[in-house]
Amino acid sequence: MLTIWGRISSINVQKVVWAAGEVGQPFERIDVGGQFGGNREPAYLARNPNGLVPTLEDGEVVIWESNSIVRYLAARYGAGWIWEEEPAKRAEADRWMDWMNTSLQPALTPAFWGLVRNDPARQDPAAIADSIAKTEAKLDILDAHLEGRTYLANERFGMADITVAPGAHRWFNMPVPQKDWPNIRRWYAQVSVRPAAGPALPLPIS
Ligand SMILES: N[C@@H](CCC(=O)N[C@@H](CS)C(=O)NCC(=O)O)C(=O)O
């Protein structure tokens, strides 16, 4: 039985919960972080010195960093399924996973904290407008990539879809102007109804 440490409102925890479901591994998820706290406790820091969520425990194996956890789950339990052995194919998925963490998430986070989490420190209208503009530019790239494609990488469902779709889920449920991204909408509608996606993509977002 896997243990996933982290509150489900975390976009990074959502990726791990989804991946665990796809590879058919039973897991216990323990609420840590945000309003639940616990992530600065010595016992948690011993597992994850960053004091962030998610952290995965699989027997003796302890891993932090959401993408690394998804890759671990895919490689260990999803070979021939969501794990690509061939380096070029795996890189096709890897690049979108890293793009999510380094491009889309940083772009949308200020608007999310200002408009959804109502953080008093993140109410600057200019910063929110900047976040919206930057996110739209990233989503334009995603929409163009998905033109004529069913999935993000290798024409089959995989790690990239699991890690990027929580970003679309968040954006589509935020009180922001919604541009028309027909390819993202179609792709999101398709992947978000997978049985493993349900527990990973809670509504309302928070
Ligand atoms: N790069 C890390 C980022 C982890 C991260 O920033 N997690 C946030 C939640 S999304 C966190 O732990 N925030 C503190 C908290 O929840 O208390 C990953 O992908 O796992």
150: number of CA atoms within 13 Å, CB side?
7
Pocket test for ligand 1, best of 10, 97, 99 (most atoms within 8 A of CB): 10
**CB under 8 A, 24+ apart: contacts of 179-184:** 179/136, 179/139, 179/140, 181/139, 181/140, 181/142, 181/143, 182/143, 183/142, 183/143, 183/144, 183/145, 183/146, 183/147, 183/149, 184/139, 184/142, 184/143, 184/146
> Cβ distance 1 to 28 under 8 Å?
yes
Which pLDDT score is estimated for 147?
98
Which pLDDT score is estimated for 4?
98
Which pLDDT score is estimated for 110?
98
- In this structure, the residue with its CA closest to atom 10 of ligand 1 is 10
At residue 121 the predicted structure's pLDDT band, cuts being 50, 70 and 90, is very high
Which pLDDT score is estimated for 157?
98
Segment 36-61 mean pLDDT:
98
- In this structure, the residue with its CA closest to atom 15 of ligand 1 is 33
- Nearest-atom number in ligand 1 for the CA of 69 is 20
Residue spans of the domains in the chain: they are: 2-77, 87-198
Which pLDDT score is estimated for 142?
98
Which pLDDT score is estimated for 86?
96
Which pLDDT score is estimated for 178?
96
Both structure tokens of 126 = 């200019």
- Nearest-atom number in ligand 1 for the CA of 67 is 19
- Nearest-atom number in ligand 1 for the CA of 39 is 17
Is residue 167 lining ligand 1, measured as CB closer than 6 Å?
Answer: no
Instruction: Count the Cβ atoms, other than its own, within 10 Å of residue 184.
Output: 23
Q: Could you tell me the pTM of the whole model?
A: 0.98
Instruction: Count the Cβ atoms, other than its own, within 10 Å of residue 125.
Output: 8
Pocket test for ligand 1, best of 9, 53, 117 (most atoms within 8 A of CB): 53
Place of tokens 């989804």: 18
Is residue 38 lining ligand 1, measured as CB closer than 6 Å?
Answer: no
Is residue 51 lining ligand 1, measured as CB closer than 6 Å?
Answer: no
Which pLDDT score is estimated for 175?
98
Both structure tokens of 147 = 């033109």
The percent of residues above 90 in pLDDT, for the chain, comes to: 100
Q: What is the pLDDT of residues 187-205, one digit of tens each?
A: 999 999 999 999 999 999 9
Is residue 114 lining ligand 1, measured as CB closer than 6 Å?
Answer: no
Is residue 166 lining ligand 1, measured as CB closer than 6 Å?
Answer: no
CA geometry: angle at 34 spanning 28 and 40, to 5°? 85
> Cβ distance 71 to 95 under 8 Å?
no
At residue 103 the predicted structure's pLDDT band, cuts being 50, 70 and 90, is very high
Which pLDDT score is estimated for 167?
98
What's the mean pLDDT when you consider all of the chain?
Answer: 98
At residue 54 the predicted structure's pLDDT band, cuts being 50, 70 and 90, is very high
Q: Per CATH, which fold does 2-77 belong to?
A: Glutaredoxin (3.40.30)
Pairwise CA distance, residues 125 & 114, whole Å = 9
Backbone torsions φ then ψ of 201, nearest 5 degrees: -120, 75
Is residue 57 lining ligand 1, measured as CB closer than 6 Å?
Answer: no
Segment 146-172 mean pLDDT:
98
Is residue 11 lining ligand 1, measured as CB closer than 6 Å?
Answer: yes
Tell me which CATH code domain 87-198 carries.
1.20.1050.10
